[in-house]
Amino acid sequence: MGNVICICMNDANHIFIAADNRDGLRCPICEGFIKRVGCVVEGGLPTYDELRKRNKPALGLTPRFIWLEERLNQIEKATNRYFDNKEYIPIEWIEEYNLIVNELNNASGDL
Ligand SMILES: [Zn+2]
């Protein structure tokens, strides 16, 4: 058990650390859903409780990787439906899928 980095799915600036066994956490700033993205090695990020005490800034942007992962899911489901129906699968779907996979793979080290 330890602390993990948590990112708000509404705004990538809503980032904090919390114990990995702390279930049901929502963003302390906007109450959005959070995604746990990794273990904390060093300090530097506010804890859930620290962030909750701060003033509420305006809501920003959903992290790009959240949208990309959701788009990948949509392409996969649509492709499977066409596949099951033996319909022509638009090549644009496959090209977009590959572009997103590349972007996510190249960005994974930046998180
Ligand atoms: Zn938030």
Predicted structure pTM score: 0.56
Domain range for 105 is 64-110
Q: Judge if 45 and 79 occupy the same domain.
A: no
Residues in the chain with pLDDT values less than 70: 1, 41-43, 55, 108-111
> Is position 36 within any domain?
yes
Q: What is the mean pLDDT of the chain?
A: 87
Q: Are residues 46 and 77 in the same domain?
A: no
Q: In what order do the strands lie in the sheet with 34-39?
A: 15-19, 3-8, 34-39
Q: Which residues have their alpha-adjacent CB atom under 5 A from ion ligand 1?
A: 8, 10-11, 14, 27, 29-30, 32
Going from the Cα of 74 to the center of ligand 1, the distance in angstroms, rounded, reads 24
Tally of domains within the chain:
2
Q: State the helix-helix crossing angle for 91-107 and 64-84, rounded to 10 degrees.
A: 150
Residue 86 lies in a domain: yes
Centroid of ligand 1 to alpha carbon of 89 (angstroms): 37
Q: What's residue 48's pLDDT?
A: 87
Residue 16, amino acid: F
Question: What is the whole-number distance in angstroms between the Cα of residue 1 and the centre of ligand 1?
Answer: 24
